[in-house]
Structure 1
Amino acid sequence: MSDRIEKTIELNAPVSRVWQAITDHREFGEWFRVRIDAPFVSGEVATGQITYPGYEHVRWTATIKCMDEPTLFSFTWIPYAVDPDTDYSSETPTLVEFRLEPTSKGTRLTITESGFDKVPEYRRAEALRMNEGGWAEQVKNIKAHVER
């Protein structure tokens, strides 16, 4: 089993536009479907409420790791932490990286989530499967958001 998920998509939007869509907490929330409480700040915890149908009970929590404009935005989080009755605080988070590269038509966005080998074995396969599907959906969402 792989310890990572990687999705790459070509976006018909300049790097500056994609950067704004992934680092402005309001815009990120629009396409990611989460209402984030405050702006992203490197080194700080970001929180919010998931707005995706069926997951509205889930609080979104991530620690912003890097905001290296305009090439790298990253955060850590506990993957697929959706059971409100489970304490995930002792788990090692995965690292999510958004890498932006200019192309002749706009931007190549690569999203990588790594560290699934540290997710407890009893939930590793499900977390990997669910996040694989989630990132497949999110690349479509950001494409629609920045190209509208």
Structure 2
Amino acid sequence: MNVDETAVVAAPIERVWRAFTDHADRAEWWDYLFMEPVAGGSLEERWTGEHGEPVVTRGLVTRAAAPEILAFSWSDDGQAASTDVEIVLTARGADTEVRIRETGWNRLPDGAAMAADHRAGWRVHLANLRRHVES
């Protein structure tokens, strides 16, 4: 029940890394995420749930190895356990493969449903990232 999404972006790996880790750059395509992209850095995502309720997701960056790996654990306020996200960037010539894996759904009572929601969310984020760095 892991989430595993991959996209190839027509941009160099350093450009894609910057899109994830530079606050101003990230704000152009994921403006509701604040992240300190260093190991031990904090993470906060403020968004609106399906019924219009405000939701805050908080986390901790567990690994930041430029320009290839960004990893963090996060959970919504009140969630029983966190999930773990690993973003791996791989240079493919002039392009970059972006692979996002999110694990830990088995720690949550509604993990399967949440994994499906996150899978859809990561697809949106990847599409937004691609549009941003390829423009």
TM-score range, shorter chain: 0.7 to 0.9
Q: 1:135 aligns with which of 112, 118, 122?
A: 122
> Is residue 2:67 matched to residue 1:70?
yes
Query: Is the contact made by 2:36 and 2:42 (CA closer than 8 Å) also made in structure 1?
Result: no
Q: 2:78 aligns with which of 76, 87, 99?
A: 87
TM-score, normalised by the number of residues in structure 1: 0.79
SS class of match (1:58): strand
SS class of match (1:96): strand
Structure 1 regions of 5+ residues with no counterpart? Answer: none
Q: For 1:1-148, what aligned pairs fall within 5 Å after superposition?
A: 2=1, 4-36=2-34, 39-50=36-47, 57-78=54-75, 81=76, 87-88=78-79, 91-119=80-108, 121=109, 123-148=110-135
Give the whole-Å Cα distance in 2 for the aligned partners of 1:53 and 1:27. Answer: 27
Q: Give the CA deviation at 1:133.
A: 0.9
Give the letter aligned to residue 12 of structure 2.
P
Structure 2 regions of 5+ residues with no counterpart? Answer: none
Q: 1:60 to 1:33 in 2, by over 3 A?
A: farther
Greater fraction of residues in strand = 2
Give the whole-Å Cα distance in 2 for the aligned partners of 1:35 and 1:6. Answer: 20
Aligned-residue RMSD, C-alpha: 2.4
- List per-residue Cα deviations over 1:42-88 (Å, max 9, x = no partner): 2132224337997671223121111101110011112xx3xxxx722
Give the letter aligned to residue 30 of structure 2.
F
SS class of match (2:62): strand
- List per-residue Cα deviations over 1:25-47 (Å, max 9, x = no partner): 333343234152x6433213222
TM-score, normalised by the number of residues in structure 2: 0.86
